[in-house]
Amino acid sequence: GSCNFVRTSRGGLITFHGPGQLVCYPVLNLGCFRKSVRWYVCELERTVIKTCAQFGIEASTSPDTGVWAGDNKICAIGIHCGRYITSHGLALNCNTDMSWFDNIVPCGIMGKGVTSLSRELGRDVPTEEAVPKLLEAFTEQFNCTLIYN
């Protein structure tokens, strides 16, 4: 496949978005929650940890942003915030072709690997299976109600 590099306003170094990733870009007014970008990133991390737990995967945070299963990153997080309005967000590896990551050093962190829900569970986990679990975890973590149009 072909690979395009695009400069964006999100935080963090190089990342990858592609098939098999659940990409979630919430647009929130942090003024309605807490006016803290660090708080928001931590809440996103907790949301993903809850999502992984629903799959029986023990995930955690580390000094490096994102969510990890052991020493392997399962979810990248990079956000932008202007006037307390958030953009960008998270990318949870579901059944991503992991060979894409051979081309980059994810988020500029050396010596760490990447993983996915599928790799951790030893079975195919499509994004469709992860979406309702992520949305449920999000509504719990942010204490909100999702309205579907």
Joined tokens for residue 51? 């999502």
Enzyme catalytic residues:
107
103 dihedral zone (left: phi>0; alpha: psi -120 to 50; beta):
alpha
From CA 117, how far away is CA 108, in angstroms rounded?
22
Is residue 26 classed exposed, middle or buried when 0-12, 13-18 and 19+ CB atoms within 10 A define those classes? Answer: middle
Tell whether residue 78 is among the known ligand binding residues.
yes
Strand partners, 77: 90
Tell whether residue 11 is among the known ligand binding residues.
yes
Tell whether residue 121 is among the known ligand binding residues.
no
Question: Using H for helix, E for strand and C for coil, what is the string for 132-148?
Answer: HHHHHHHHHHHCCCCCC
Tell whether residue 12 is among the known ligand binding residues.
yes
Tell whether residue 15 is among the known ligand binding residues.
yes
Tell whether residue 80 is among the known ligand binding residues.
no
Tell whether residue 90 is among the known ligand binding residues.
yes
Q: Side-chain half-sphere of 62: how many Cα atoms within 13 Å?
A: 16
Tell whether residue 16 is among the known ligand binding residues.
yes
Which residues participate in the annotated binding site?
Answer: 10-17, 76-78, 89-91
Which residues participate in the annotated binding site for substrate?
Answer: 10-17, 76-78, 89-91
